[in-house]
Amino acid sequence: MSPFSRQALPPGVATSADLDVWPEGLLASIFEVGDDEEQARIVRFSSHFKRTVLMSSDYSGYWGDREALTLLAEACLRMYNWDLQPQITWVRACDFNPVCRQVIKDAYGPYDHRAQPIGAEPSKKACILVNLLHRIPKVASDWIDAARPAKQASVQEAVAAHQDIFEWLDANKLWVFPADAVSQCVTCGQECFVQPLLKMYPEKYQHLISGGDPPSKKARTEQPWTRPLVINCSGTTCTGWTPAGKCLRQADPSEIPHAVYVLDRMRSAQLELEDAFIQENSAFYDYMVKIKKPLEQTHGIIKVVWGPIKGGFPVRRERSYMAGWNKKTMAWVGPETDEDVQAHFASFCCTRCGL
Ligand SMILES: [Zn+2]
């Protein structure tokens, strides 16, 4: 969009006071546009918050998704007199970078006024896991180490080796990605469950932890329980895709944790332990090949390409944002094609840059 056609857009943030109410402005742009769908959007959105929401994050960085959703939830409480109390529990983060882990620990430690999840018990601190690859059995990570391309491998050899690793993980996913996978946690100083539902409700998932039968229909009727909504947010490594990196694409070493990330989503959906995921990467990320196609059996996936300038901030940094939903547990009622999804998203979120 040219700077001239932007003049027709609603004004964006222009002062520091505007910044304070930016989440409110975002909500208003979605829920106060006065179209025929407004009421339906409110009902769908608020119904999700009436359940407990369990959030997890991989490739967490400084855990920006936590900050964004916290601000949005707080704005929901301030703005609307909805009969709801968001129960968002931040179950875990995970990052390979020790600086990121330290920042997360410091930012969401005992001195942060929002350290505790909204509505959660104070004792439930978020797990911080060390490495995405630690959640698979050692024999599998040993196999990956043996199969990873040599440093002097050509681009073609590296692509082929990464493809072999993905296919091997996919073929062996039933035992490589068990429901009760654990991973070293720096918060708890022990190995913790990777799956948020098992971490938070082990008594409900004994059949997945120690075997046996799942709860009978009679038991479920006698003790009704609304399973929380489970969402994963991840900003997968972009060095292989962004022009700022080496543009090695599928020859980039980040392909290996990406394979684990994708198959983790697949298994979590098959086991009905995760309902949705949000993924962020470079605008040049090949989302069709890297995630939409591999997950087409388990997930519906949409994508928008978005950057700060489209939301009214004078920074050009376009990224791909993908949302996937578990076809077993959720349904998409929005536009069908990528082009229509992009236009629909822009119709709510595009603002003029006033800074
Ligand atoms: Zn833990």
| Sign of the alpha-carbon dihedral angle for 260, 327, 27, 73 | negative
Tell me the DSSP string of 235-256.
E---TTTSTTTT--GGGSTTHH
* Residues, beta carbon < 5 Å, ion ligand 1: 127, 185, 187-188, 192
Got the DSSP string for 281-312? EETT--HIIIIITTTTTTEEEEEEEE-GGGGT
What element of type H or E holds 325? strand 319-326
What is the rounded average pLDDT of the residues 254-263? 97
Distances (CA, A) of 257 to 144, 254, 263, 354: 10, 6, 10, 40
Spacing, Cα 125 to ligand 1 middle (Å): 8
Average the pLDDT over 72-86 and give the result. Answer: 76
- With beta carbons less than 8 A apart as the criterion, state whether 70 and 88 touch: yes
For residue 303, pLDDT beyond 50: yes
- Predicted confidence band at 2 (pLDDT cuts at 50, 70, 90)? low
- What is the whole-number distance in angstroms between the Cα of residue 132 and the centre of ligand 1? 14
Residue 109 has pLDDT above 70, yes or no: no
Q: How confident is the model at residue 119 (pLDDT cuts 50, 70, 90)?
A: very low
pLDDT at 327 over 50: yes
Residue type, position 46, single letter: S
The CA-based angle 211-214-215, given to 5 degrees, is 135
* pLDDT given at position 353: 85
Dihedral over Cα of 140, 92, 226, 275: its sign: negative
| Per-residue confidence (pLDDT) for residue 67, from 0 to 100 | 87
Q: Which two tokens stand for residue 327?
A: 């076809």
What pLDDT, in 10s, does the model give residues 147-190? 999 999 999 999 999 999 999 999 999 999 999 999 999 988 99
CB neighbour list of residue 212: distance below 8 Å, 6 or more residues apart: 206
Tell me the percentage of the chain whose pLDDT exceeds 70.
Answer: 92
Residue 311 burial (10 A CB sphere; 0-12, 13-18, 19+): middle
- What contacts 83, CB < 8 A, 6 or more positions away? none
Mean pLDDT on 42-51: 83
The residue with greater pLDDT, 1 or 348, is 348
Cα 37 to Cα 24, 34, 236, 246: the distances in Å are 19, 8, 33, 44
Distance 143 CA to ligand 1 centre (A): 27
Question: How far, in Å, is the centroid of ligand 1 from the Cα of 330?
Answer: 28
Torsion sign (Cα): 255, 191, 199, 113 = negative
- pLDDT at 84 exceeding the cut of 70: no
> Mind listing the domains of the chain with CATH numbers?
5-215+224-349 (3.40.50.150)
Instruction: Determine the average pLDDT of the residues in 292-309.
Output: 96
- What mean pLDDT is predicted for residues 94-117? 74
pLDDT band at 5 (very low <50, low <70, confident <90, very high): low
Q: Which parts of the chain fold into alpha helices (H)?
A: 16-20, 22-31, 38-50, 64-79, 98-107, 138-147, 155-171, 173-176, 196-200, 206-209, 217-222, 255-270, 287, 338-349
- Ligand 1 midpoint to CA 184 (Å): 8
- Indicate the pLDDT class of residue 139, thresholds 50, 70 and 90: very high
**Span 48-60, mean pLDDT?**
89
pLDDT in the model for residue 111: 43
- CA gap 149, 152 in Å, rounded: 8
* pLDDT confidence of residue 218: 85
pLDDT mean over 187-214:
91
What's residue 129's pLDDT? 96
Residue 116 tokens read as 């505790």
Task: Measure 320 CA to ligand 1 centroid, in angstroms.
Answer: 30
Distance 211 CA to ligand 1 centre (A): 22
What's the 91 CA to ligand 1 centre distance in angstroms? Answer: 9
Q: What pLDDT is recorded for position 124? A: 54
pLDDT digits (tens, 9 = 90+) for 17-38: 988 898 999 899 999 888 888 8
Q: What is the pLDDT of residue 112?
A: 43
Looking at every residue in the chain, the average pLDDT score rounds to 89
Contact of 277 with 291, CB cutoff 8 Å: no
Of 12-16, 261-265, 328-332, the one with minimum mean pLDDT is 12-16
